[in-house]
Amino acid sequence: MVPALAIADALRASGAEVEFLGGERAEGELVPAAGYPFHRLAVAGLDRRNPLLAARAVGLASAATLRARRILHRMGAGAVIGGGGYVAGPTGLAAATLRLPLFLTESDSHLGLANRALAPLARRVFLAFPIEGRSGRRYAVMGRPVPAGTGQADRDESRRRLGLPADGTCLLVFGGSIGARRLNEAAFEAFAPGAPFTVLHACGRRDFPDLEERLRAAGSPPHYHLKPYVEPFAHALAAADLAVARAGGSVFELAAAGLPAILVPYPYATAGHQEGNARVMAAGGAAVVVPDAELDPPRLSREVGALIAAPDRLQEMRSAALKLARPDAAERIAAEVLEGVRSTGTK
- HEC sequence for the chain: CHHHHHHHHHHHHCCCCCCEEECCCCHHHHHHHCCCCEEECCCCCCCCCCHHHHHHHHHHHHHHHHHHHHHHHHHCCCCEEECCCCCHHHHHHHHHHCCCCEEEEECCCCCCHHHHHHHHHCCEEEECCCECCECCCCEEECCCCCCCCCCCCCHHHHHHHHCCCCCCCEEEEECCCCCCHHHHHHHHHHHCCCCCCEEEEECCCCCHHHHHHHHHHCCCCCCEEEECCCCCCHHHHHHCCEEEECCCCCHHHHHHCCCCEEECCCCCCHHHHHHHHHHHHHHCCCEEECCHHHCCHHHHHHHHHHHHCCHHHHHHHHHHHHHHCCCCHHHHHHHHHHHHHHHHCCC
CATH architecture label of 155-324: 3-Layer(aba) Sandwich (3.40)
- Express each pLDDT in 238-274 by its tens digit: 999 999 999 988 899 999 999 999 999 999 887 788 9
CB atoms within 10 A of CB 291: 12
Domains 2-146+327-344 and 155-324 share a fold: yes
Q: What is the model's pLDDT at position 35? A: 93
The more confident residue out of 306 and 56 is 306
pTM of the model: 0.83
Asked whether the predicted pLDDT for residue 154 surpasses 70, the reply is yes
Q: What is the model's pLDDT at position 347? A: 55
Asked whether the predicted pLDDT for residue 141 surpasses 60, the reply is yes
Confidence of residue 30 (pLDDT cuts 50, 70, 90): confident
How much of the chain exceeds pLDDT 90, in percent? 70
| Identity of residue 201 | H
Q: Where are the domains of the chain?
A: 2-146+327-344, 155-324
- Express each pLDDT in 72-109 by its tens digit: 999 999 999 998 888 889 999 999 999 999 999 998 88
Average pLDDT over residues 55-64: 82
Buried b (16+ CB within 10 A) or exposed e, 56-76: ebeebbeebbebbbebbeeee
Asked whether the predicted pLDDT for residue 55 surpasses 80, the reply is no
| Identity of residue 86 | Y
Asked whether the predicted pLDDT for residue 329 surpasses 80, the reply is yes
Choice among 144-153, 276-285, 316-325 with the minimum mean pLDDT: 144-153
Choice among 60-69, 185-194, 220-229 with the minimum mean pLDDT: 60-69
Asked whether the predicted pLDDT for residue 179 surpasses 70, the reply is no
In CATH terms, is domain 2-146+327-344 a member of 3.40.50.2000? yes
